[in-house]
Structure 1
Amino acid sequence: MLTHLVRRLIYVLPVCFGVSLFCFLLVHIAPGDPLTSIMPVDASAEQQAEMRAAYGLDKPLPVQYAIWLGKAVSGDLGKSIATGRPVADEVFRAVQNSLLLAFTASAIAFPIGLILGFVAGYFRDTAIDRMVTAIAVTGVSVPNYWLGIVLVIVFSVTLGWLPSMGAGPGGSTQWHWDLEHLRFLILPSVTLAVVPIGLVARTVRALVGDIYSMDFVQALQAKGLRGGDVLRHVIKNAAPTALSVMGLQLGYLLGGSILIETVFNWPGSGFLLSNAIFQRDLPLLQGTILILALFFVCMNLIVDVAQAAIDPRIKRN
């Protein structure tokens, strides 16, 4: 197990380097000048040169990347062009809010998706299977931002049960574990959980159905094992793939919630990324993309190690 972990860690290093290079180049090939938002319209050539030198934009791209990467490794992601505050502080504060939203949505989506998938796979080609499949397809097909707007109209505007925007009373961005703040978490987390429910349910349904048709399951049934004992073997064989899907979905929930965070004005990484794009805030954009990408890489590493712990056959690959 230790050898497998060390090997995976070695594989992660070039991936992280490639991610950092991609993040740096991605924002630089975009059209527009990042300093136009803070530079006066009538700025002279000398003022423009001083501003570019202050942000290191007067150097060649390879030099800019080397300086940025060296600072990023030490935890310094630069300063925001729009606000002047350290990028690391803004990104980590937003990532905390996104993690709260992503883990809450996962706590809703994964148990429901697993239960629906196992039920549909166990009762394959029956009315129950068709009903669960219809629910899963609907969850995957419905645009989550549209669903968020509908939930706001129903539960916030019409019924007045739940707040529609922000992370706390009065537009607060600081989270506290109390009932008042939990009310702000319900609508965005439920909206964000709909797509993973459908994806996990469909994946697990296909896995369980295929495993039940394998020879070893038929041999277990021929030996007289009861349904619960057979199901335990089916779950063990389906667990690695199901865990992989859930790990990827957790990464997507953190990095792909930009529309949901915008709809609900949730102060997370997606909302921060949206503002950075519109403001052409280069350091903030780079830092946000880098942290989200590295989180996704770390999630894949954790899932890979967990899969090997569940299924020893994976260690041989």
Structure 2
Amino acid sequence: MNYIANTRAALAAALLGAGAMLNAGLAQAETTLKVGHVFAADHPWQIALEGLSKDVAEATGGEVVIQVYPSSQLGGDREVAEGLQLGTVEMGLFGTGALQVLDKRLIIEELPYAWPTREKAYAAVDGELGEALAGILAAKNINTLSWWESGYRHITNSARPIETPEDLKGIKLRVPEAELRLDTFRELGALPTPMAFSEVFTSLQQKVVDGQENPLATIYASKFYEVQQNLALSGHIWGSAILTISSKAWDKLTDEQKTILRDKAEIWKEKEREMIRASDEEVLAKLEAAGMKVTRPDPAAFQQMVQPVWDKYESVFGEDLLAIVRKYSN
């Protein structure tokens, strides 16, 4: 049994125990927080959120209950982000690319090839970069609880294997609704097509687009291997997963409940990151077993081609934020 399966099995047993305690009348839920995300129910995000829910319920004696809604049940990224700002959604977990609808600076971590290692990215979002972006969100009535991980993004397609930037030329590639991602793949010669995540599988299946780009865990959990033959381990972007709560919901919690929620979110940050790291090799083997042809393109040529993207967005992100990214990425 793999790491994620072990984690889920342990959570299931613990949740049964917590449920029995609540049903016995030992605690009554006073505050319910709904948290939404776009990925499937077997994705590490879902498993980690289930664990967070269990731990918070236990630590608050059932006074705070987090209900987890995967697969865009509370809406897509844009809807959840806007709902957080308006206070109509309590919590959300998503990549920062989804937040550019609120402020374009929030997508800075997704500059192509910014993070040569996970450790450098972790240091940035756990440090000065995370603090700066959390400040931007706070001004939008959204509180940042913790910086989890989405992972390195890779390219799949049904047209041909990708070895060099030339191989991307003319490939119609689904990307999130983020101008930075569009510009990145335009520079690489692809035909980027913005599209909500919930529409991706059907669009790949019906050949509306040729390919997409996502972390390995997402590629597998979303079963893109059923409609895509080629996987290029491009690692062009590393993405965090930001766990947020609306200011409206946050203000309803007591100081003690706030401390518990933050502390448990940090604990599950580490566990979620471990799940992402542990799943990469396992998932890659499963994707190959499912018939995907895997290539490992040299990033050097890709890095050179996307330099104009960095130049273009200097005025968008500002010198201060870019200085932080460069500090941690070098």
Report TM bin, short chain: under 0.3
TM-score (norm 2): 0.26
Structure showing greater relative contact order (alpha-carbon pairs closer than 8 Å, 6 or more residues apart): 1
Work out which of the two has the higher radius of gyration on C-alpha atoms and give 1 or 2: 1
TM-score when scaled to structure 1?
0.26
* Structure (1 or 2) with the greater helix fraction: 1
More strand by share: 2
